[in-house]
Structure 1
Amino acid sequence: MPSTPTPPILLEIRDAIARITLNRPEQANVLNDETGQAFIGVVRQVADAWARGEVRAVLLAAKGPHFCAGGDIRGFVAADNIAELLDRTIPPLHEAIHTLSTLPVPVVSAVNGSLGGGGIGIALCADLVIASRSMKLRGGYSAIALSPDVGVSWALTRLVGPMRAKHILFTNQPLDAQQCLAAGLVAEVHDDEALMPAAEALVQSLAQSATGSLARIKSLVDQAARHTLHEQLAQEHLGMVACGASADAREGVTAFVQKRAPRFGRKA
C-alpha cells in the first residue's frame, strides 16, 4: 500500500495548548500552495477549538534546523506566471496570519535557524517570539525583486520602526539572534537545545493564566498605537471593569491575600 503523505503543517491540541508545527524540514519549511492551504486549515481548527473553550494558548514551531526560509523560490522558477502563483498562494497565508494575530489568547513562536521572507510574518505574528542562538533573520524580498507579504512589512514596522524596517528589507543583511533581541524582534534567546523546553514552559504557564486578562492585555497593547491617550484610557477603564467582573479576578485577589497560587479557569 502507498504511504500516506506527510502533512506540511502539524496540529496537536493538548492541555489547552494548540501546537502548530511547520513540517517540511527537508525544504527549510518553505511556503508554497500546499503549505498555505494546510496552514489556514490548521488555523481555522485552532480558532474553532478556541471558540469551544478548548484552547488557552498557541505555540508555533518548526521541524528541522530551520524555522522557515520564506517562499518556495524553486516553485517561482518553475511557474509559467509568477504573479498568478503569488495571487493564488498569498490569500490563505494572509487569512491565517490575521486569524492568529487577532486570536484572543497568547501566541508564542519558537524560532530556530533561518527565518526569511514570509517566514518572518509567521514568526512575528506571535505575541511573544523566543529564539535559538542559531536563529538568523534575513528579509530576502528585494534580492529577488519582490515585496513583502504575510504581514512582514506590518510586523517589522510595528516592532522596529519604519527606518529600521526599510533597512532590513532594502539591504537583506542578516540579523542574528542577539541582534534581533536588541532590536525588539524577539523576547528571549536560548541555546538551541533549550529552545523547545523554554517554549513549552512558557505556553504552559500562559495556558494556566487568566485568559480574560491576557486577552484584554493583548487587545490594549495591539490597539495602543492607533489610539489617542484619551481613547486608550477609556479602553483601559472598560477592560479593567470587565475583568473585575470575572470569576478569575475574584480568584486572583483571593489567592493573593491567602498567599497561594491562583487556580484560574474555573467556572463562576
Structure 2
Amino acid sequence: MTRSYRHIRLDVEAGVATLTLNRPERLNSFNVEMHEEVADALAVVRDDDATRVLVLTGAGRGFCAGQDLSDRAVAPSDTPRDLGESIDLYYGPLVKALRSLPKPVIGAVNGVAAGAGANIALACDVVIAARSASFIQAFSKIGLMPDSAGTFFLPQLVGPARAMGLALLAEKLPAEQAEAWGLIWRCVDDADFAATVESVARQLASGPTLAYARIKEAIYSAKLNTLSAQLDLERDSQRELGYSADYREGVAAFMAKRAPQFTGK
C-alpha cells in the first residue's frame, strides 16, 4: 500500500510502514504542509493493526535539516515571530506521537540530521545511521536553542557535558562518534545501510507488538518515575502481557525448540 502526499511518502508492506520525508531539494526540512502530512501518516500507522513497525527516513542525501527557514523567513526589520507556537502546534506533537506510537519506530538516518531533524531522529526508538550521516544541533548558529525535545534527549543519552558542547558549539557529530557516545543504536557502512534497516524492520514486524509497546512505555517512563512507581508499572504491564496470545505462543515455541509465530496480540 502506498499513500499519496505532496511532501512525504508512506509505503506499507508486510507489516512495515516506511515514512519517507520527501523534500530532497530542501534536505527534507519541514514546512507547515509537511508537518500536517506527517501527522496524518502517523495517525494512519497508529490505527492500522496490520502495521507493526514504522521506519522513518529521508529522501536523497539528507535525513532532515529541521525547519525550512524560508517557510518563516525573518529580517532584522520584521516583526518578531512566535517560534514557541510552532513547537506547540507541530514539533511537540510530532515528537510525542513518535514516542507514544504503540509500535517500534526505527529512525533510518541516511544523511545529515540537523536542528529539529536531529532531535526527531532521537525521538525514534531505534536509530540506525549510515556511516556518512551526521547529527548537528545547529540552533545556536541562528541564535536559538535546541528544541523538539533536544534538551531532554541529549543529556539523557550522552550526559550533560557532551550535551552542552553539542548545543553550544553546534559541531557536526559523525554517525560513528554518535554510536560510540551512545546517542544512537548503530552506525553501519553506507553499502549495508538499506539491508540493515530492512532486516531490523522485518525482525520487529514479526515480533510481539504488544510487548514492544509496553517496553517503550516502561523505558520512557523510567527517568520520571520513582523506583516504586516503576515497579508498579512493570507489574501491571507484565500482568497484561501474561494474558496475551503472544506470551503463550512464545512459551510454547521455546518448549518445542521452534521459532515463535507472533501475531502481535
- Residue segments in structure 1 that go unaligned for 5+ positions in a row: none
Moved more, 202-211 or 189-198: 189-198
Gaps in structure 2 of 5+ consecutive residues: none
Alignment partner of 1:143 out of 141, 144, 150? 141
1:255 aligns with 2:253: yes
Q: Which residue number corresponds to residue 66 of structure 1?
A: 62
Hey, what's the Cα distance between the residues in 2 that align with 1:157 and 1:137?
A: 15
Q: Is the 8 A contact 2:28 2:58 kept in 1?
A: yes
Equivalent position of 1:29 in the other structure: 28
Query: How many corresponding residue pairs?
Result: 260
Deviation at 1:180, TM superposition (A): 0.2
What's the secondary structure of 2:263's corresponding residue? coil
Correspondence 1:56 to 2:52: yes
54-63 vs 86-95, which deviates more?
Answer: 86-95
Q: Tell me: CA distance 1:254–1:8, structure 2 relative to 1, closer, same or farther (3 Å).
A: same
Cross-structure match for 2:9: 10
- Equivalent of residue 77 in structure 1, options 70, 73, 78: 73
Output the CA distance in 2 between the equivalents of 1:192 and 1:82.
Answer: 42
Q: Which residue of 1 aligns with 2:217?
A: 219
The answer as to whether partners of 2:135 and 2:172 remain within 8 angstroms in 1 is yes
Structure 1 CA distance, aligned partners of 2:148 and 2:224? 21
Equivalent residue, structure 2, for 1:153: 151
**Backbone CA RMSD of aligned residues:** 2.1
Match of 2:97 in 1: 99
Residue 36 of structure 1 contacts residue 90 of structure 1 at CA under 8 Å; is this kept in 2?
no
Residue 17 of structure 1: how far off its partner (Å): 1.7
Structure 1 residue 191 displacement after superposition: 1.2
- 1:47 touches 1:99 (CA, 8 Å); kept in 2? no
- Structure 2 partner of 1:39: 38
Runs of 4+ in structure 1 off by over 6 angstroms are: none
1:115-147 deviations in whole A, cap 9, x for unaligned?
Answer: 110101221111100000011111110110012
1:186-238, CA deviations, whole angstroms, 9 ceiling, x for partnerless residues?
11111113212211110111010011211111111111112222222222222
| TM-score normalised to structure 2 length | 0.90
Identity, % of aligned pairs?
37
Separation in structure 1 between the aligned mates of residue 112 and residue 264 of structure 2, nearest angstrom? 41
Q: Deviations over 1:169-198 (max 9, x none)?
A: 111111101110011111111111321221
Q: For 1:237 and 1:90, how far apart are their aligned partners in 2?
A: 34
* Alignment check: 8 A CA contact 1:11 1:20 kept: yes
With 31-40 and 129-138 compared, the bigger mean Cα shift is at 31-40
1:171 aligned residue: 169
